[in-house]
């Protein structure tokens, strides 16, 4: 009887241990399953991140050569860049004597640089030719007028002379273009300068063929004077006949100016 009892007891012990082993195996299977799921999820996340998300963020594999857009207008450059998914940003504007308003003067990165889609392309555009007002130069000397023009971005052009009693000699009477006129930066500005009080001019008479005395009288009648008299041997004319005059007939001289003469001589 004792032996039977021990066998039953031993059988129960074996059954209990077997159940414990089964439970342990079941837990290990569950742990392994969870570990497999976690690992699979990790690899799936890695795949999605590396193959889908990161290419979207970095545009991996979409590198290309940036077009050169210098010289284009903004309206011309935008479609070119949009086709490559490159945003355009105007960072500054500058005056330029030769490039119309809106023309691209420089770009960054420069054309030919390897870029990816989404890269912002920064450009500097032209404001066109700068227009500046001509300063008021009336009453200034030529030297001071030149300095004032250069300070305003202009250069001195032609100088003409006139006469007026309202201003001192050798000062600017007016400029052309006139003061306040908006003209391109760097343009020439011409000056009209006072040469002093107005003096009436006289017309030189025709003297050729007259005798020296007749020519002298005619010049003095106009307020002019005989200047240098040269002799040339010419037996076809009476002695001291005027053959040449230094100022053409009809030209204008101021009273008191001289006219040189060439007269004939027989020896």
Q: For residue 151, what are its two tokens?
A: 């300070």
* Spatial distance between the Cα atoms of 157 and 191, rounded to a whole number of angstroms: 7
35/94 Cα distance (integer angstroms): 65
pTM score, two decimals?
0.45
In the CATH hierarchy, which fold is given to the domain comprising 202-265? Trypsin Inhibitor V; Chain A (3.30.10)
Going by pLDDT thresholds of 50, 70 and 90, the confidence category of residue 29 is low
Tokens found for residue 246 = 């230094």
CA distance 133 to 144: 17
146: helix, coil or strand? helix
Question: Measuring CA to CA, which residue among 162, 152, 164, 102 is closest to residue 129?
Answer: 102
Kindly give the pairing relationship between strand 242-245 and strand 258-265: antiparallel
**pLDDT range class, residue 11, cuts 50, 70, 90:** low
- pLDDT tens for residues 159-180? 999 988 889 999 999 999 999 9
Q: Which CATH class is domain 64-126?
A: alpha beta
Answer yes or no: CATH 3.40.50.720 is held by domain 131-194.
Answer: no
pLDDT at 54 over 60: no
pLDDT (0 to 100) of residue 28: 65
59: exposed, middle or buried (C-beta count within 10 Å: 0-12, 13-18, 19+)?
middle
* Average pLDDT of the segment spanning 212-222: 95
């Amino acid at each position: 009887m004792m032996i039977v009892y021990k066998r039953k007891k031993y059988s129960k012990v074996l059954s209990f241990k077997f159940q414990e082993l089964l439970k342990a195996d079941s837990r290990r299977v569950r742990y392994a399953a969870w570990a497999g799921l976690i690992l699979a999820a990790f690899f799936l996340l890695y795949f999605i991140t590396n193959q889908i998300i990161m290419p979207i963020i970095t545009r991996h594999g979409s590198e290309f050569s940036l077009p050169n857009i210098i010289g284009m207008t903004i309206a011309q450059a935008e479609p070119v860049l949009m086709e490559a998914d490159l945003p355009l940003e105007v960072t500054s504007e500058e005056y330029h004597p030769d490039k119309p308003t809106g023309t691209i003067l420089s770009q960054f990165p420069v054309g030919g640089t390897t870029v990816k889609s989404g890269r912002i392309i920064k450009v500097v555009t032209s404001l066109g030719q700068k227009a500046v007002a001509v300063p008021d130069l009336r009453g200034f000397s030529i030297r001071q007028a030149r300095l004032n023009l250069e300070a305003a971005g202009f250069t001195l052009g032609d100088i003409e002379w006139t006469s007026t009693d309202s201003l001192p000699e050798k000062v600017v009477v007016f400029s052309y273009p006139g003061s306040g006129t908006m003209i391109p930066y760097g343009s020439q500005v011409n000056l009209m300068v006072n040469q002093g009080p107005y003096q009436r001019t006289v017309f030189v008479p025709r003297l050729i063929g007259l005798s020296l005395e007749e020519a002298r009288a005619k010049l003095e009648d106009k307020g002019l004077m005989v200047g240098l008299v040269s002799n040339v041997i010419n037996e076809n004319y009476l002695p001291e006949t005027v053959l040449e005059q230094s100022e053409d007939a009809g030209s204008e001289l101021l009273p008191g100016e001289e006219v040189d003469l060439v007269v004939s001589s027989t020896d």
